[in-house]
Structure 1
Amino acid sequence: MAEAAVTSNEGAPMPRPFASSADLDDKPQTLEILADGVYALTAEGDPNAGAVEGEDFVVCFEALATPAAARDWLTILRAHTDKPIRYLVLSHYHAVRTLGAGAFGAPVVVAHDLTRSLIAERGEQDWESELARMPRLFKEPDGIPGLTWPSVTFSGTLTIDLGGDRGDLDLAYCGRGHTEGDIVAWLPRHRILFAGDLVETQAALYTGDAFHREWASRTLDHVASFGAETLVGGRGAVAHGRDAVRDAVGQTRDFLETMIREVGRVRDGGGALRDAFAAVHAALAPAYGRWPIFEHCLPFDVSRLWDELDGVERPRIWTADRDREVWARLQS
């Protein structure tokens, strides 16, 4: 749910708590078995994770924020399979998706070529930024051994043969979107898609490192082209059935298109960044304002889109100091 405005004893509005720093209550985790040997872990708007059994191994999708958080997920998974984890697939470079990798013991860590480059370019700053924004997700942060480095990367597609009669798991790059290097994991046999943060299901989008116009058009077109019948987004509930999958992709597209329209309108009218934030908030809040991390994400989303429309091709690096400056400017 969106945070309610805080009011002082004198009735004047007070600044919102920074990002998700005041969100300290644990969220119940739910394991869904989507098909034989196909698992999705959701947690009421916290980052989702998944796993797929091969004939004699497991592929895990997403690493969570710390080894301690990942071990909690693996305890749940181990109630269903004791096969060794051979592959860990990272959908993109953000700290809450990568820094728990040490708990998996996977000999092969897979990501896109650009994700590896982004870790090298801005991984340290992103770690510091996300830890301050979302402290609850970083269970036992001192246990993080360092940045996670993929051992295998690819540019277009990569197929993992699951063995026996289990078919293939196809990893694919759909274009720039949530970041430069997002990938999805597709199980054609079951028509199940793990979409990472390219699609959210009843959860707000984080677009602070995004390419909004490309994401809203050809990247989401590519995601939709799989024809998934089950979709696990980056956050929120699993979408079951073609209609629910279409709605999840449509919600993601609508969120992006609304942002692009409103920020563009304010810029074209000579307005300022704060005016654009107010316009986007007013346009999105009725439909999305009660969804997880809406208030947290929006200042960073609008700031990046403003840059993008101003010709800043690649997202500026978020640092802990820059996070606070943007938050104070737009959410105070």
Structure 2
Amino acid sequence: MRDEAGWLEVGDRVYTRRYRFYDQQIGVVVGDGEALVIDTRSSPGQARELIADIGRLTPFPVRQVVDTHWHYDHLFGNHDFRPATIWGHERCRSRLLENGERQRAWVAETEPALAAALESLVIDPPDRTFDPATTVEVGGRRVELAYLGRGHTDADVIVVVPDAAILFAGDLLENDAVPYFGDAYPLEWPATVGWLLDLVSGPVVPGHGSIGDRAFVERQLADFDAVAAVARRLHTGELDRAAALAAMPYDPSSSIEPLDRALAQLRGELD
């Protein structure tokens, strides 16, 4: 049951809050005297809203942050959480330094409601990076961070809270909508989610949409397997494009981007 501030306790002192903007899930792990937050939202204003919501959840300060990947909607709120330590995969840092300003310009153009807020944005990448995994202590609790392989991006990390059997998947998983494939590696995404599936022992919190379980992960994995398989059949000429779109696990209009991205990877066009 959610509290008055909208937080749902999914495990012992592990909370999620589902925000309307992009149907995003934010996580908080509370330990003795401190807290860790998973992702910081899309703008300074959204970050300040999150900080206020956390303040209604716990009196303890947020001393650590995890960026699950380098997309703006997960880390453009970073600066407002300083002086907290911010963790991320090493490519999360390098990608944000490389394309953060391009992301800002794109968001200002495509999300007019955020344009003014982003004028004051300080792009603030993770200062503690790792590859492939590390362990963070949060007030006496162990929190595990791991990069399992390329999928939604080349820098996705999961967050596991072992003592509560909770797994935060970031955008490796998305519920209630077709996942975003614009920066994805569709041929590798199934294997990455396969590794993730081996770690599931309780609730699974996706980057967007409803909290899931093992069966949810299995369904999403089947979809990713299908995307890769259909793309290979199109690439070899076994299917034409119309037949390939019809064979995808998503509706035809939603299938164009994942299919084209998979074909680009098959042609060796992705770095």
Alignment TM-score, normalising by the size of structure 2: 0.87
State the 1:53 CA deviation.
0.9
Partner of 1:307: 264
CA distance in 2, matches of 1:300, 1:131: 22
In the alignment, which of 90, 96, 111 is matched to residue 119 of structure 1?
96
- 1:75 maps to 52
| C-alpha distance in structure 2 between counterparts of 1:133 and 1:177, whole Å | 24
Residue 161 (structure 1) aligns with: 137
**Relative contact order, CA 8 A, sep 6+: which one is greater?**
1
Q: Distance in 2 between matches of 1:143 and 1:119?
A: 17
Measure, in 2, the Cα distance between the counterparts of 1:280 and 1:131. 32
Picking from 260, 264, 267, the partner of 2:235 is: 267
- Which blocks of at least 5 consecutive residues in structure 2 are unaligned? none
Given that 1:60 and 1:88 are in contact with CA atoms closer than 8 Å, whether structure 2 keeps it comes out as yes
Partner of 2:166: 192
CA distance in 2, matches of 1:121, 1:142: 17
The whole-number CA distance in structure 1 between the counterparts of 2:52 and 2:115 is: 15
* CA apart distance, 1:312: 1.4
- Indicate yes or no: 2:189 matched with 1:221: no
Unaligned 5+ residue runs, structure 1?
A: 1-28, 240-244, 290-294, 315-332
Residue of structure 1 aligned with 2:16, choices 40, 58, 73: 40
> Aligned partner of 2:155: which letter?
G
| Offset at residue 191 of structure 1 (A) | 0.5
Shift of 1:177: 1.1
Task: Determine helix, strand or coil for the equivalent of 2:88.
Answer: strand
Once the two structures are TM-superposed, the CA of residue 62 in structure 1 deviates from its matched residue by 0.4
1:231 aligns to 2:204 (yes or no):
yes
Aligned length: 266
Q: Does the alignment pair 1:210 with 2:184?
A: yes
Write the mapping of 1:241-320 to structure 2, written as runs, cut at 5 A: 245-269=213-237, 275=241, 279-280=244-245, 283-285=248-250, 298-314=255-271
Q: Given the alignment of the two structures, is residue 101 of structure 1 paired with residue 78 of structure 2, yes or no?
A: yes
Structure 1 residue 252 displacement after superposition:
2.1
Letter aligned with residue 18 of structure 2: T
Residue 186 to residue 95, structure 1, CA distance change in 2 (3 Å): same
CA distance in 2, matches of 1:221, 1:263: 19
Contact 2:92/2:125 (8 A) holds in 1: no
Query: How far is the alpha carbon of 1:282 from its aligned partner?
Result: 6.2
Q: Distance in 1 between matches of 2:225 and 2:110?
A: 26
C-alpha separation between the residues in 2 aligned to 1:52 and 1:74? 14
Q: Sequence identity of aligned pairs in percent?
A: 27
1:193 aligned partner, one-letter code: L
Question: What is the root-mean-square deviation of aligned Cα atoms in Å?
Answer: 2.5
CA deviation profile, 1:167-213 (whole Å, cap 9, x unmatched): 30111111111111111110100110111011122321111111112
For 2:34 and 2:160, the matched residues in 1 are separated by: 17
Cα–Cα, structure 1 residues 123 and 163, in superposed 2: closer, same or farther, change >3 Å? same
Q: How many Å separate the matches in 1 of 2:116 and 2:261?
A: 30
The residue aligned with 1:15 is none
Q: Looking at CA atoms only, which structure, 1 or 2, has the larger radius of gyration? A: 1
Contact 1:206-1:298 at 8 Å conserved across structures: no
Deviation above 6 Å: which 4+ runs of structure 1?
none
Residues 11 and 165 of structure 2 are in contact (CA less than 8 Å); yes or no, is this contact kept in structure 1?
A: no
